[in-house]
Structure 1
Amino acid sequence: TVCCGRNFALISEPGEGKGAEEPKLRALTWVDPVTVEDVTTPSGIYAEATAASEGRRRLLGSGAPASTQIQTHRRRLAGKKKSHIHGTNGNMVPLPSSGELLGIAHFHRPEHRQSSDHALHGHHYTHALFTIGRRQPEPAGNEREERGGYELRRLSNEFVFRSPSRRDADADDADIIQFASGLDLLGTDEDGRILLSYGINDCEGAAVFLDAEEVMGMLREVPRGME
């Protein structure tokens, strides 16, 4: 397991050291503030022996006991201002033109997980696309806390998916619960397409294609220090 956060998005980084063949696996555990944690495995994420012995499942191990991870993570974010934006995609998508990683996140109402008449754990979801990139060197005398070497670079406005089941006057309305978790890039981020898949009311699935150029146009730069 990886600890702690909400809806982890995995990141594959080049292996370290001379002759390293396997990439390093990390996970975005929180979007705001951007927090990236290491993920360790017993013998590498592509070890066939491990996959075979576990019924072809790749198990993500931890380099420290769960209780230690929880305490470390809580100390890292303790007292920090955190927004209620949650990452949802399973992996961050590399953008060749900028070197950034693309992700999708969501908000829901109410922000906390109290029950309501609409849904047990939140409703009226909205989504936002975002990118993260390697943290740039800080000016002298302006050191910021390190949280995994990444920073928020770009962020879109919130949006919803048009409900595919509405056929009335509110045909442009959205569903109460929409949860996007699939994100992929077909082609390049300049002239390709973005595939987004999402769940509807926890019982249906849907997918949409978006022009990559349009998606890039939705993203707005986040001023440094304003994450």
Structure 2
Amino acid sequence: MLTLHTWTTPNGRKIPIMLEELGLEYDILAVDIGKGEQFTPEFLAMSPNNKIPALEHVDADGNKLTIFESGAILQYLAEKTGQLLPAAGPARYQVLEWLHWQIGGLGPMFGQLGFFALRSEEKSPLAIDRFVEEADRLMGVMDKQLSKHPYIAGAQYSIADIACYPWAVAARDKLKPAVGDKLADKPHLNRWLDMIGARPAVQRGMALPKVD
């Protein structure tokens, strides 16, 4: 049995997309980070860094494994099912390259941009300019890669696309007041956004968890 603890953030929606793509049965529990539910002892026992998502997997023998960090969960599910991550060879490491690129760059930089430009009451022009510039650079990296390949890591849809997509959507929608029209001159990234966004499993995953 799989139980996903998550919230309605870009990182939080990666795993619902993955589970929907795989067609696995799972339960989903909302962790309202606005109410501090990520700091409860029960959640910290699963995710000591107090960040969503976290996944619990209880196998047929009753053995329980808990995993935190979205990238680790994506890789775990891909390896358990043999889907969306090549088993070996150059294609595997191309997917892992772009997965780690998202974890180390795209997510943190977009997250900092959202904080300094939109959520923080005290505005720091230097910080905002720095993160707008970096967000534009990272979107340019994606656009260049997608000018050569249909998907982020090459010819096949993979966990790299799943990792990047919710953050690219955030740049297009929630971060638009900060990034302005910088996405408009990136046709390959926009093509990819439309293509990934048309996948039924992605649409279902992006609507989870359902909250009032």
- The two structures have a TM-score, normalised by structure 2, of 0.27
The normalised TM-score by structure 1 is 0.26
Determine which structure has the larger helix proportion and give its number.
2
Higher relative contact order (CA 8 A, sep 6+): 2
CA radius of gyration, larger in: 1
